[in-house]
Amino acid sequence: MSRAWRHQLLSLFIVFAWGLTWLALWTISFYLTDNGQQATLLLPQGVHLALLILLHRRYWPALFIPVIGLLIWLWLQQLMTEPVMLLSPLLSAIPALLVQHYWHRFTLYWQRLSLLMAAITGDALLHTLVLTPFLSSSASQTLLAAFTGGVVLTPFVYLIYEYLRQQHLESLLAQETPNPPLRTSLLIWCSLFFIIGVGAQMVVSPEIERLLLIVVFLPNVVMAYKFGWQGGVLAALLGSMMITIARQIGSGFNGLMEMELFLSTQALLGIGLGIAISRQQHLANNLHRYRQRLEVELQARRELMEQLVHTEEDTRKDLARELHDEIGQNITAIQIQSMLVKRTASGDATVLAAEQINQLAQRIHHSTRHLLRQLRPPVLDEISLDKALHHLIQEFAFDERGITCHFHYDLPGQPASDPVVFTLYRLVQELLNNICKHADAHKVEIALTQQAHGVRLEVKDDGIGFSGSTHTGHGLQGIAERIRALGGDLQLESQSGTRVIVNLPTLFQQTQG
């Protein structure tokens, strides 16, 4: 179907549906106000303004034609006495144009609702200013009628429009759910409040004025609190209907003005509260979203670090094997060769040279061994962590320095992950190094125990502690970094000696290593 046809048909639909709705709304307003002019301003005006703002300007003719036509008809039928009311639909076009100008700059619902409120106020003021000189009713009546109609119905039309627009935009993918979720809680709340309200009116209609406060304002607050601006808007409309019924059943209000004032107040309360709560919910949602995103980033960083540790460990392992296999064997060969040269040598110079070669080879051998140990403690490849640590502590020879050292090992098995084993080993090595060099301690306690999902290492001494954290050295800093990368944590306490506690998550091998 071509664009022009589509537009024509839509306009025709709007002419029919809007024209009939307008007349029906006018009839209801007429019943409430008993005044053709006021009736035009009350209910139809609110919907008219909302439609002018929400619909595209090419549909404006379809909005104006039925309204003006019906106004003329009503005038001819003597249901409306003042022909100046024919200006009313055109007057609304001015605030509508202004609001449409700003409409697309503000995308959030509360901003748009505020814009609508501004439009309602402007519209009511404009009508009052222009029409009052020609009407028999007072300026305040005109103002209140236009404002009440707007504040009750305009946000509701916006709510409906938002829903329809969203249905329209919904793509085929979103239609995959054949049964849209039904929210029954709202239905229950709504009907409950409405039934209570109407029931209260039936039973205690003489004292309704005092009761109305509870019956109308309370639902407004609750609905706005539970459902945000949608709830607020809906509650405002229901409240208005309830007040109207109250006025018709009993004689709750002294006059039309009082009822309109009450209507606007409760509608403003519901909508204002709804906006505030919706905005709060929106902010809370944003915060929640950012927190989740941060958590994901942190998790990714930790995984990256862990991978880094693994890669480093693998590289070291490869390097160490290479060094051990290649250089080690060759040095041994060089030593043997130099020995042979020495035995078969004839001159002193040759013997000297061979000895020097041997010594050089020896030195290279030593430095290689040192390098190997630094790269990857060779003991760990052969013996368990338990024994390797014992071995390490013995190497420090604390007894000879007059330091008593207690080592307590209580793990169900060897930690399953290699990086954890090496980290623990290096950590102990680094800490004991520090103690030997700086601590001036007399007593050292090392404990390795199992805890939930991991191991706990505690190293305690009674030395001088840290004078300043800069002294802890880059070695410890690097290890602390690794521990965090492996998902653990490191605590340093420096009160009458030093106490280091490390927790590392790991699994344990079932077989005793």
Partner 1 sequence: MISEQTIGRDYRYWRPRLLLSMVVGYAAFYLTRKSVSFVLPAMQLDLDLSKSDIGLLGTLFYLSYGLSKFVAGLWHDRRGARWFMGAGLLATGILNILFAFGSNLPMLLVIWTLNGFFQGWGWPPCARLLTHWYSRNERGFWWGCWNTSINLGGAAVPLISALMALWYGWQASLFVSGTIGIIIGIWLCRSLSGTPQEMGLPSVGVWRHDPLEMRQEQLSPPMPQWQMFRSTVLQNPMVWLLGVSYVLVYLIRIALNDWGNIWLSESHGVNLLSANATVMLFEMGGLLGALFAGWGSDLLFRGQRGPMILLFALGLFVSVAALWLSPVHHYALLAVCFFAIGFFVFGPQMLIGLAAVECSHKQAAGSVTGFLGLFAYLGAALAGWPLSQVIERYGWSGMFALLTVAAALIGFLLMPLLMAGISAQDRSVGAMDPAVTLPQDT
CA angle, 365 as apex, 360 and 371 as ends, to 5°? 125
Q: How far is the CB of 290 from partner 1 (least distance, A)?
A: 7
Is the Cβ of residue 249 or residue 333 nearer to partner 1 in the bound state?
249
Is the Cβ of residue 169 or residue 452 nearer to partner 1 in the bound state?
169
Q: How far is the CB of 179 from partner 1 (least distance, A)?
A: 5
Q: How far is the CB of 13 from partner 1 (least distance, A)?
A: 5
Q: How far is the CB of 326 from partner 1 (least distance, A)?
A: 55
Residue 204 tokens, joined:
């205690």
Distance CA 435, CA 438 (A): 6
Is the Cβ of residue 278 or residue 423 nearer to partner 1 in the bound state?
278
Q: Could you tell me how many residues make up the chain?
A: 513
Distance CA 330, CA 338 (A): 12
Is the Cβ of residue 13 or residue 102 nearer to partner 1 in the bound state?
13
Q: Say how many C-beta atoms besides its own lie within 10 A of residue 343's C-beta.
A: 9
Q: How far is the CB of 221 from partner 1 (least distance, A)?
A: 18
Distance CA 298, CA 18 (A): 56
Residue 185 tokens, joined:
């809680």
Q: How far is the CB of 162 from partner 1 (least distance, A)?
A: 6
Residue 79 tokens, joined:
């249901």
β 454-461/443-451 pair status: antiparallel
Q: How far is the CB of 309 from partner 1 (least distance, A)?
A: 33
Closest Cα to residue 191, out of 238, 247, 250? Answer: 238
- Furthest-apart CA pair in the chain: how many Å? 143
Is the Cβ of residue 8 or residue 138 nearer to partner 1 in the bound state?
8
Residue 319 half-sphere exposure toward CB, CA atoms < 13 A: 15
Closest Cα to residue 226, out of 284, 278, 269? Answer: 278
Q: How far is the CB of 428 from partner 1 (least distance, A)?
A: 47
Is the Cβ of residue 79 or residue 84 nearer to partner 1 in the bound state?
79
Strand partners, 457: 448, 502
List phi, psi (to 5°) of 510.
-70, -40
List phi, psi (to 5°) of 127.
-60, -45
Q: How far is the CB of 61 from partner 1 (least distance, A)?
A: 18
Closest Cα to residue 457, out of 427, 498, 416, 417? Answer: 427
Q: How far is the CB of 163 from partner 1 (least distance, A)?
A: 5
Residues that bind partner 1 in the complex, under the rule CB under 8 A:
1, 6, 9-10, 13, 16-17, 20-21, 23-25, 27-28, 30-31, 77, 79, 107-109, 111, 159-160, 162-164, 166-168, 170, 172, 175, 178-184, 186-187, 190-191, 227-228, 230-231, 234, 279, 282-283, 285-286, 289-290
What is the side-by-side order of every strand in the sheet holding 489-493?
Answer: 404-410, 443-451, 454-461, 498-505, 489-493
Q: Say how many C-beta atoms besides its own lie within 10 A of residue 180's C-beta.
A: 10
Is the Cβ of residue 27 or residue 433 nearer to partner 1 in the bound state?
27
Q: How far is the CB of 410 from partner 1 (least distance, A)?
A: 49
Q: Say how many C-beta atoms besides its own lie within 10 A of residue 49's C-beta.
A: 28
Q: Judge whether 389 and 428 are in contact, CB under 8 Å.
A: yes
Q: Say how many C-beta atoms besides its own lie within 10 A of residue 15's C-beta.
A: 19
Is the Cβ of residue 279 or residue 342 nearer to partner 1 in the bound state?
279
Residue 346 tokens, joined:
């004839």
Is the Cβ of residue 215 or residue 432 nearer to partner 1 in the bound state?
215
Q: How far is the CB of 487 from partner 1 (least distance, A)?
A: 29
Q: How far is the CB of 16 from partner 1 (least distance, A)?
A: 6
The contacts found for 321-330 with CB under 8 angstroms, 24 or more apart, are 323/368, 323/371, 323/372, 323/375, 324/372, 324/378, 327/364, 327/368, 328/365, 328/368
Is the Cβ of residue 69 or residue 478 nearer to partner 1 in the bound state?
69
Is the Cβ of residue 25 or residue 435 nearer to partner 1 in the bound state?
25
β 498-505/489-493 pair status: antiparallel
Distance CA 467, CA 452 (A): 34
Is the Cβ of residue 177 or residue 470 nearer to partner 1 in the bound state?
177
Question: What b/e sequence results for 399-422 when a residue is b if at least 16 CB atoms lie within 10 Å of its CB, and e otherwise?
Answer: eeeebebebeeebebbbebebbbb
Is the Cβ of residue 49 or residue 380 nearer to partner 1 in the bound state?
49
